[in-house]
Amino acid sequence: MIEVSGLRKRYGQTMALDGMSFTVTPGRVTGFVGPNGAGKSTTMRVILGLDAADGGHALVGGRPYRSLRSPLRHLGALLDAAALHPGRTARHHLLWLAHSQGLGVRRVDEVIELVGLAPVARRRAGGFSLGMRQRLGIAAALLGDPPALMLDEPVNGLDPEGVVWIRGLLRSLAAEGRAVLVSSHLMSELQDTADHLVVVGRGRVVADTGVAELIEAASGGRVRLRTAEPAAAMDALARAGAVVAATGAGTVTVSGLVSERVVAVLGGSGVPFSEVAAHRATLEEAYMELTGDSVEFRAGLRASGSSRSSGSSGSWGDGR
Amino acid sequence: MTRPVPGTGTRLREVHAEWTKLRTAPGTLWTVLALVAVTVATSAAASALVSCPSSGCGHDAVRIGLAGVQAGQAVTAVAAVLAITGEYGTGMIRATFTAMPRRGAVLAAKAVVVAGLTLASGTVAVLGSLLAARLVLPHSGFTPEHGFPPLSLADGPTLRAAAGSVLYLALIALFSLGVATAVRDSAAAAGVVLGLLYALAAVPFVMVPDPDWQLLLWRISPMNAGLAVQSTANLSALPLTPWQGVAVLTAWTAASLLLAALLLRRRDA
């Protein structure tokens, strides 16, 4: 379990963390999302004791990280996959980490096997692709078999096979009862991975909610209707008290009526239709809904996304 | 979700991890070879170039035979700098402090393994230098007839000079490690260390005419003072005794490590 409470951190003029508080509970994947510069990486560095917070505290299993004697057995972290000596082999990189935790070479070979690096374990890490480095970083995070894991943008730069692999790994780690925190600046990345979301902007939490609840709320009991005669359908439904909107060629979104009523009304009016389904919002739509009235957060979006501020929804730029 | 702990006690884990890092770094073996080669070659060259044409020429044969330490220390200094700045340069320092959050213990562990390796390779370099000098010096006129018996560790002052030279190299390594931890950048740290060693050693004679200032600068120069331990002749003419010189270098080393420990604790990694 990871608990973050009231973290504050200022770098010069920039308020990086401004009362960041949330909890990562065992047995589920918690997505940590927000635009670049929202404070995700800083929060992770503070949790790991790399940066000192100006206020508040972060606890891992109820204790400050820096007080842990074998920290990798409590929390495994992947912050920056490139942060290793390029001349050392993957196996030797893991070996010194293992020795720092009182672990032996057997555990090193286990995690190498686990992340699929066995064929290249004795090669220098400097020659690794980004995907291989990510795997090596994940091997390091898993080294101490920790009950909590924290990964900063783990799918960045991975090929599709790697992305699928990471998603499956995160799911299975959570299923084993571990607390998993995974950050991303892309909502869509977390759609099928996270159970819970901590949405951040400008150094504080904007929303702390379950993924299912968030999508449920954003879907708002709307019904999507596919029909060859949208005008007649809209007319009939409006008369029945629904709020209707044409959302595409032959598609109408209906709110205020459950799908059974929609079917009955259309049937009664003799309007043909090919499909009536509950509208399911995407995580990105849910996110836009969520932050639609958060003026300050939108300002934060603009401030951080220089080139992409007017770009497609849910993507706030690259890197950190 | 824990597994049994084999072997190492918690206290020595940092040392174990740092030793694994050092021995698996590709540059380590080359550093050891370079230290020995540069030191022995320079000592042999100095022994060949100097000459003692007559009886009582006033030279310090032991000091000449150990002259290579003045060149070898640069290898040691740069290697010790890279032991820490290499981690800052690649970002690996964050992996280090994530695995071992007690930063003071990490610095101490690095100091132990760097000093240990320097003591071992420095011993080889110094013994090699004495052996080379013992073979070469007679050809330069350092003969028993001129008052120079063959160099031997059975001679008290020679043994002190040899052991002191090994100690000198280890102190230089630790001094460099401390400076590099404070500075964090490879080039800047190497510049500061080599500047403090060579420039501070030369400046008094090049730029300072006042003899009192010259004396003071000689006494506080880590290289001049530290290498006093190599002297076996005209000891009374030295501004410091051999062991006082070692104490000066030790003070520099302690100060640099202390500064490093304070900064490590205070700074974000």
Interface test with B, best of A59, A96, A111 (most B CBs within 10 A): A96
Distance CA A20, CA A9 (A): 9
Concatenated DSSP letters of B127-173: HHHHHHHHHHGGGGT--GGGT-PPP-TTSHHHHHHHHHHHHHHHHHH
> Residue A179 in contact with residue A75, Cβ under 8 Å?
no
CB distance from B86 to chain A under 8 Å?
yes
Interface test with A, best of B90, B102, B110 (most A CBs within 10 A): B90
Cβ-based contacts of B98 with chain A (< 8 Å): 48-50, 71-72, 77, 79
Q: How far is A275 from chain B (nearest CA, A)?
A: 50
> Residue B66 in contact with residue B130, Cβ under 8 Å?
yes
Q: Using DSSP, how many helices (H) and how many strands (E) does chain A show?
A: 11, 13
> Residue A199 in contact with residue A174, Cβ under 8 Å?
no
Cβ-based contacts of A108 with chain B (< 8 Å): none
**How buried is A88 (Cβ within 10 angstroms: 0-12 exposed, 13-18 middle, 19+ buried)?**
buried
Distance CA B132, CA B18 (A): 34
Point out the residue among A77, A86, A104 whose CB comes nearest to the CB of B7.
A104
Per DSSP bridges, beta strands A148-152 and A179-184 are: parallel
Return the pLDDT at A316.
39
- Closest residue on chain B to A80 (Cα): B91
Contact A100 B27 (CB under 8 A): no
Return the pLDDT at B9.
58
Q: How far is B174 from chain A (nearest CA, A)?
A: 22
Contact A86 B94 (CB under 8 A): no
Closest by Cα among B178, B115, B135, B143 to B59: B143
CB distance from B92 to chain A under 8 Å?
yes
* Residues B98-145 pLDDT 10s: 999 999 999 999 999 999 999 999 999 999 999 999 999 999 999 988
- Closest residue on chain A to B19 (Cα): A96
Q: Which residues of chain A have pLDDT under 50?
A: 293-320
> Residue B200 in contact with residue B252, Cβ under 8 Å?
no
Point out the residue among A66, A102, A146 whose CB comes nearest to the CB of B5.
A102
Cβ-based contacts of B25 with chain A (< 8 Å): 85, 87-88
> Residue A83 in contact with residue B92, Cβ under 8 Å?
yes
Cβ-based contacts of B90 with chain A (< 8 Å): 82-86
Contact A52 B268 (CB under 8 A): yes
Contact B24 A88 (CB under 8 A): yes
Q: Using DSSP, how many helices (H) and how many strands (E) does chain B show?
A: 12, 0
Domains defined along chain A, listed by start = 2-74+146-216 (3.40.50.300), 221-278 (3.30.70)
Return the pLDDT at A103.
95
Backbone angles phi, psi at B186, to 5 degrees: -55, -55
With 90 as the cut, is the pLDDT of residue B193 above it?
yes
Cβ-based contacts of A72 with chain B (< 8 Å): 98-99
Return the pLDDT at A58.
97
Return the pLDDT at A251.
85
Return the pLDDT at A188.
77
* Residues B198-254 pLDDT 10s: 998 888 777 778 888 888 999 999 999 999 999 998 888 889 999 999 999 999 999
Return the pLDDT at B10.
66
Contact B99 A147 (CB under 8 A): no
* Residues B164-174 pLDDT 10s: 999 999 999 99
Residue A52's contacts (CB-CB under 8 Å, 6 or more residues apart) are A46, B268
Task: Provide the sign of the torsion angle of the four alpha carbons A148, A166, A290, A199, taken in this order.
Answer: positive
Contact A45 B102 (CB under 8 A): no
Chain A residues with CB within 8 Å of chain B CB: 45, 48-52, 65-73, 77, 79-80, 82-89, 92, 95-97, 99-104, 107, 124, 140, 145-147, 178
With 60 as the cut, is the pLDDT of residue B72 above it?
yes
Interface test with B, best of A51, A85, A94, A111 (most B CBs within 10 A): A85
CB distance from B236 to chain A under 8 Å?
no
Residue B242's contacts (CB-CB under 8 Å, 6 or more residues apart) are B160, B161, B164, B228, B229, B230, B231, B235
Residue A213's contacts (CB-CB under 8 Å, 6 or more residues apart) are none
Point out the residue among A82, A86, A96 whose CB comes nearest to the CB of B17.
A96
Beta bridge partners of A10: A15
Concatenated DSSP letters of A30-62: EEEE--TTSSHHHHHHHHTTSS--SEEEEEETT
Tokens 């770098």 sit on residue: A11
Contact A101 B26 (CB under 8 A): no
Q: Looking at chain A, list the stretches that DSSP marks H as alpha helix, in order from N- to C-terminal side.
A: 40-47, 90-100, 105-114, 130-142, 160-175, 187-190, 211-219, 230-239, 259-269, 283-291, 295-304
* Residues A231-286 pLDDT 10s: 888 888 888 888 888 877 888 888 888 888 888 888 888 888 888 888 777 777 77
Q: How far is A297 from chain B (nearest CA, A)?
A: 28
CB distance from B220 to chain A under 8 Å?
no
Point out the residue among A50, A69, A88 whose CB comes nearest to the CB of B97.
A50
Interface test with A, best of B98, B113, B186, B267 (most A CBs within 10 A): B98
> Residue B110 in contact with residue B83, Cβ under 8 Å?
yes
Rounded to 5, what percent of chain B is helix, strand, coil?
80, 0, 20
Contact B101 A45 (CB under 8 A): no
